[in-house]
Amino acid sequence: MRLSQVIELLGNSVLQVVNPGNVDPEFDHIESDSRGLKERNLFICIKGTNFDSHLIARELQRKGAVALVAEMPIEDEEVVVPIVYVKSSRLVEALLTMEEYCHPYRKLTTIGVTGTNGKTTITTLIYHVLSSFERKASLIGTVRNVVGENIYTNPKNTTPGPVELAKLLQLSTKLKSEYFIMEVSSHSLSMNRVEGMRFDVGIISNVTRDHLDFHPTFDDYYRSKMKLFSLLKTNGIAVVNGDKINIADIHISRNRITTYGFGDESDYRIENLDISRTGMDFTIQTPYGSSHRIYSRLIGEHNAYNIAAAVAALNSLNYDLDHIAKAISSFGGVPGRFEFVEEATKYGFDVVVDFAHTPDALEKLLKTARRLTPGRLILVFGAGGSADKGKRPLMSEVSSKYSDVVILTSDDPKLDDPAEILQDLESGVDKFKPYLVIPDRREAISVALTLANRQDMVLIAGRGHEDFQILGEKRIPFNDKQVVKDILESKFRRHIKK
């Protein structure tokens, strides 16, 4: 490809070209990481949180960059290669990377799911249903990336950066996937990671308080999520939780929007929800007037929404609803989402591990638990470090309101001081209700199990499926479910009152 072609392709995104020279340089790869830069590469300079490659322009030229794309001034007279100034380097990275990989998403039916909570559940459910129709699908998200037989666990980001994304799309087409189902985080939308691709279906589950460390305001967070709908293919459809999202905020024609929820106006309406410890069932009324009974092992009103999202999306892709319902009934759930630790039942109480780490998710978790529990709710939770501090007291308020005993502990403090996180949490807790502060998570879980009587439920929230905790610079193995099992197996036996 030649630089002039890039400039033409980027159109209005180009602000200025300096050092144009007489030759139109040709390059064979677009690179944005100096560590991978080779001769005959076009280099995109990005200012990140840890590294700013605008500052090493001279070195980039020496290493063989035939031209640079930049968004900040490069004032180094020794840099003589052409510099294309653009408004957003990350946007250009996304666009050019997809161009280099020849837009593999065009050969796939692409489904993007955004929202504060529910993304992993919805994407995994859709993946499960499509698999049970023997359709080949790729799944990209927080827990794992699956492409064909390849499973990549613990991905660095929920939504990959442009290069990784393009590679996953390319591999999907190579392995003959038909569907590409992915979680699309607000960070990725805000940072233009997915700007190069287009979706056949965009789903939004809800937007509630989270990530206000990264997003300056809630409005910015909300608007980032809405960007998903500007990335729909020409006839792409939006599947929207009509109870939570104002469809007027989605700027596509109404006939391309399908809603779901409990509300009377919903295209896919949930009715007669019945929840038990082993699962739930409800009816879905479709926009075509038909009505279908859904049984699922997932539990909770929030999961009824998640299922309805999957149903609406799949039905809009012309899958038969009775078949969808059958496939949903065999879905075992997502690890770490309202997951019972079955080993506890023999002691007469329940233990549930859940990934709730926002005020809204905690509320949904506790309300569901309350419906199932005659005894007390004993909640163990903390808050992650390096993330939205403002949500901490709000999480505690909700916790105090809906549980009987709250045990505040460490979640994933990272570089933050665990004591400070606990102070933030404690500031929101109801001081007139029983609560404990036990920084060590294993000890907190152990105490919760010791406090539990028959018919109580111990809820361990925040880490879900995760199998590590980051304390300072150290990453230690830690999985809530395993820890519960270990405690029940050993130490706990001595504490239990028979």
Ligand X SMILES: CC(=O)N[C@H]1[C@@H](OP(=O)(O)OP(=O)(O)OC[C@H]2O[C@@H](n3ccc(=O)[nH]c3=O)[C@H](O)[C@@H]2O)O[C@H](CO)[C@@H](O)[C@@H]1O[C@H](C)C(=O)N[C@@H](C)C(=O)N[C@H](CCC(=O)O)C(=O)O
Ligand Y SMILES: Nc1ncnc2c1ncn2[C@@H]1O[C@H](COP(=O)(O)OP(=O)(O)OP(=O)(O)O)[C@@H](O)[C@H]1O
Q: Which residues bind ligand Y (CB under 6 A)?
A: 115, 117-121, 142, 158, 183, 205-206, 302, 305-306, 337, 354-356, 360-361, 364-365, 464
Alpha-carbon span 41 to 81, nearest angstrom: 12
Nearer Cβ to ligand X (167/187): 187
Is 367 marked within a binding site?
no
Q: Is 87 annotated as a binding residue?
A: no
Among 39, 51, 401, 493, the residue binding ligand X under the rule CB under 6 A is: 51
Contacts with ligand X, 164-203, as mask; x by CB under 6 A: ---------------------x-xx---------------
Nearer to ligand X, 43 or 435 (CB): 43
Whichever of 414 and 485 has its CB closer to ligand X, that residue is: 414
DSSP 145-200: EEETTEEEES-SSSS--HHHHHHHHHHHHHTT-SEEEEE--HHHHHTTTTTT--EE
Nearest distance from C-beta of residue 314 to ligand Y, angstroms: 17
User: Looking at beta carbons only, is 199 or 355 nearer to ligand Y?
Assistant: 355
Using alpha carbons only, what angle is made at residue 356 by residues 449 and 271, rounded to the nearest 5 degrees?
A: 110
Q: How far is the CB of 408 from ligand Y (least distance, A)?
A: 18
Candidate list 11, 16, 35, 494; residue touching ligand X; CB under 6 A: 35
Given CA atoms 492, 493, 494, 498 in this order, what sign does their dihedral have?
positive
Specify the length of the chain in residues.
Answer: 498
Burial 434-461 (b: 16+ CB within 10 A, else e): ebebbeebbebbbbbbbbbeeebbbbbb
Strands of 242-372 (E only): list them.
Answer: 257-261, 268-276, 279-285, 291-296, 339-340, 350-354
- The entry of ligand X, ligand Y, none near residue 431 (CB within 5 to 8 angstroms by kind) is none
Query: Measured from the CB of residue 22, what is the shortest distance to ligand Y in angstroms?
Result: 50
- # binding residues, ligand X (CB under 6 A): 19
Smaller CB distance to ligand Y: residue 54 or 392?
392
Q: By Cβ distance, which residue is nearest to ligand X?
A: 48
Residue 457 CA to chain centroid, in angstroms? 27
Q: What is the rounded distance in angstroms from the CA atom of residue 233 to the CA atom of residue 3?
A: 28
Q: Cβ of residue 189: shortest distance to ligand X, in angstroms? A: 9
Q: What are phi and psi of 295, to 5 degrees?
A: -115, 140
50 binds ligand X, rule: CB under 6 A? yes
Q: Does 216 bind ligand X (CB under 6 A)?
A: no
Q: 119 among the known binding-site residues?
A: yes
Which CB, 192 or 316, lies closer to ligand X? 192
- Footprint (CB under 6 A) of ligand X, residues 141-170: 156-159, 161
Q: Which two tokens stand for residue 393?
A: 């007291």
Partner whose binding site includes residue 35, from ligand Y, ligand X, none (CB under 5 to 8 Å by kind):
ligand X
* Interface with ligand X, residue 446, by CB under 6 A: no
* Token pair belonging to 469: 């905790």
- Pick what 282 binds: ligand Y, ligand X, none; C-beta below 5 to 8 Å, kind-dependent: none
Residue 486 vs residues 305, 341, 463, 468: alpha-carbon distances, Å: 34, 11, 17, 16
Q: Residue 66: what residue type?
A: V
Q: Give the closest residue to 328 by CA, choosing from 355, 293, 277, 300.
A: 293
Give 196 or 359: the residue with its C-beta nearer to ligand Y. 359
Report in angstroms how near the CB of residue 428 gets to ligand X at its nearest: 21
- Helices and strands, counts by H and E, the chain: 15, 24
CB-wise, 48 or 472, nearer to ligand X? Answer: 48
Known binder of ligand: residue 173? Answer: no
Nearest distance in Å: CB 467, ligand X: 17
d(CA 225, CA 229): 8
For 239, phi then psi, to 5°, come to -110, 115
Establish whether 159 is an annotated binding residue: yes
Q: Give binding residues for ATP as ranges.
A: 115-121
Q: Give binding residues as ranges.
A: 34, 115-121, 157-159, 185, 193
Sites of contact with ligand X (CB under 6 A): 32-35, 46, 48-51, 53, 156-159, 161, 185, 187-188, 214
